[in-house]
Chains A and B, each alone.
Chain A
Amino acid sequence: EAGVAQSPRYKIIEKRQSVAFWCNPISGHATLYWYQQILGQGPKLLIQFQNNGVVDDSQLPKDRFSAERLKGVDSTLKIQPAKLEDSAVYLCASSLVGSRPANEQFFGPGTRLTVL
């Protein structure tokens, strides 16, 4: 079974530029998550989708971050404009359905973003 795919794996940009990350979840997984993991910290949830609807985006900085999940499969996370403090690893995860706590979240390898 193929895992969660993310691209690019690494990205270096200058502050005020824009950047986009792509995620392809495990086939059949209805729930998709984007996390931000700053160096030395645990992952922090940015946004959760159930199919193509947003379940939780309470920690997404909506003035600069946006995310979409068209057709309930792939998802894109965008940052515009980027700030220095956005330097982090952006992890995508998916699970069968988010309505049961026992449903395991499977994580992709992440995109490492450096903002100069």
Chain B
Amino acid sequence: QKEVEQDPGPLSVPEGAIVSLNCTYSNSAFQYFMWYRQYSRKGPELLMYTYSSGNKEDGRFTAQVDKSSKYISLFIRDSQPSDSATYLCAMIKGSGGSNYKLTFGKGTLLTVNP
């Protein structure tokens, strides 16, 4: 079993839809949770970063963490064609010392159709 599981999709939605992206993890040592967005032929860029369980909102994006279920989500409201990209969840274990290593999910390919 991989430490981080993410449905690769692809996911195709119409413009304006609410998008839900999810990851599960198996190791309770993961304490820090991120969502990265990766456009085609580009490197990943950080979208959201959370530490505690609960919700964090940034504009049209909401990150949700449920540590009891080992489940994280990213919601995109009013999706736009410019949101079309691969979304990667990533996690860091809490006791990394000087080596806080990112463990990524496979990524979900999202297409928002105009």
B42 is an interface residue with CB less than 8 A from chain A: yes
A67 to B94, CA, bound (A): 27
Query: In the complex the two chains form, what is the Cα distance from A35 to B98 in whole Å?
Result: 18
Query: How many residues on the A side are at the interface (Cβ–Cβ under 8 A)?
Result: 27
Whether A25 is near chain B, meaning CB under 8 Å from some CB there, is no
A101 near B32: Cβ-Cβ < 8 Å: yes
Query: In the complex the two chains form, what is the Cα distance from A100 to B31 in whole Å?
Result: 13
Taking a contact as CB atoms under 8 Å apart, the answer to whether A107 and B98 are in contact is: no
Specify the main secondary structure of chain A where it touches its partner: loop
Most chain B CB within 10 A, of A91, A98, A101, A104, is at: A101
In residues 1-36 of chain A, which contact B (Cβ within 8 Å)? 4
Q: Is the interface of B mostly helix, strand, loop or mixed?
A: loop
Contact B43 A98 (CB under 8 A): no
A93 within 8 A of B: yes
Among A45, A50, A93, A104, contact of B43 (Cβ-Cβ < 8 Å) = A93
In the complex, are the beta carbons of A110 and B43 less than 8 A apart? yes
**Are A101 and B43 in touch, CB under 8 angstroms?**
no
A61 close to B (CB within 8 Å): no
Q: Which of B94, B102, B106 contacts A41 (CB 8 A)?
A: B106
Which residue of A40, A41, A101 contacts B92 across the interface (Cβ within 8 Å)?
A101
Which residues of the partner chain B approach A70 to less than 8 Å between Cβ atoms? Answer: none
Whether A48 and B101, one on each chain, are in contact in the complex, defined by CB atoms closer than 8 angstroms, is yes
Q: Complex formed: what's the CA distance from A100 to B96 in Å? A: 9
Q: B residues within 8 A CB of A56?
A: 99, 101
Q: What separation, in Å, do the CA atoms of A107 and B4 have in the docked complex?
A: 21
Among A42, A55, A91, which residue has its beta carbon within 8 angstroms of that of B99?
A55
28 inter-chain pairs at a CB distance below 8 angstroms, sorted by A residue, are A4-B43, A40-B8, A42-B6, A42-B88, A42-B90, A42-B105, A43-B44, A43-B102, A45-B101, A48-B101, A50-B98, A56-B101, A98-B100, A99-B97, A99-B98, A101-B32, A101-B94, A101-B96, A101-B100, A102-B32, A104-B49, A105-B102, A106-B45, A107-B44, A109-B41, A109-B42, A110-B41, A112-B41
